[in-house]
Chains A and B, each alone.
Chain A
Amino acid sequence: MKTFLLFCSLIGGSSLGEILSAKGMQQIGDVSFRPRLLAGAIWRMIRNPYLIAGVVCMAVSFFSFISLLSYADLSFVVPLTAVSYITNTLGARFFLGERISKERWLGTLLVAFGVALVSVSDKLETYFGSPR
């Protein structure tokens, strides 16, 4: 139960954090690298409520991750984070109004699948054995 709650706050915190910071950056508008404009953008960014809330959410997610790692198996926790690619894309669709084309869904699912595979790769190897 504790694991489930921590997992929810890990995924929920990271998705919410990403969505809030994206929302904040939508409000800031296109950032330019010209020094004076950049300084202005940074000044507006550190006072933007969405960005601040986003960073707080990401911090909550990070601490849930650390607490999970302190007792759960790493090879159990990390593959699950691949889910966040899907929850984030759903969030972008419904809260930010982004239009997700078929190609983008396909690419995102491939990425999530690849990330899951990378994070279980060590475990697969111990199961099936492999010459070192």
Chain B
Amino acid sequence: MKTLVVLFVAICAQTFGDVCLTKGMKSIGEVNTLDPVKLFQIGVQVFTTPYIWLGIVILSIFFGLYLVALSWADLSFVLPVTAFGYVMNALMAWQLLGEHVSVARWLGTLIICFGVSVVAKTEQRTTRQEGNSA
């Protein structure tokens, strides 16, 4: 149970972090130059955008929680469950960003939901721990 709770928080952080990164990059505009000087200027701009920093911090929290979940459960359990992020993304795109979500995308999202619920019911850990528990 605690694994699922931590993974849920991690997925929320991932979705939110991605939104921040997208917002930050959109404010910079499309990158379509290979000129080193301009690329450097864009790089400086990227690292002085608050949204990008916020996104990086939130995504680091996601990664930390993801690793904690891996210390408790199988990789083959944790990984499919994190696909629940696609469901969050569809909901965010639909509700918060007001995007058009196609029928095929809703169908795929439903199938992911179903798959995640099947995996979530399986035994979380099938291997013995090598290290001592901290």
Contact = CB atoms under 8 A, between A and B. Distances in A.
Interface of A: 18-19, 21-22, 25-32, 37, 40-41, 45, 51, 85, 88-89, 91-93, 96-101, 103-104, 106-122, 124-125, 130, 132
A117 B107 contact: yes
Interface residues of B, number: 45
B131 interface: yes
Interface of B: 67-68, 70-72, 74-80, 83, 86, 90, 100, 102-105, 107-123, 126-127, 129-134
Given A109-B115, A111-B111, A114-B109, 13 more contacts: A18-B79, A22-B75, A28-B134, A85-B79, A85-B80, A91-B75, A92-B79, A98-B126, A111-B116, A112-B115, A114-B114, A125-B102, A130-B102
A110 B112 contact: yes
A122 B107 contact: no
B75 A96 contact: yes
Nearest to A40: B134
A98 B74 contact: yes
B134 A32 contact: yes
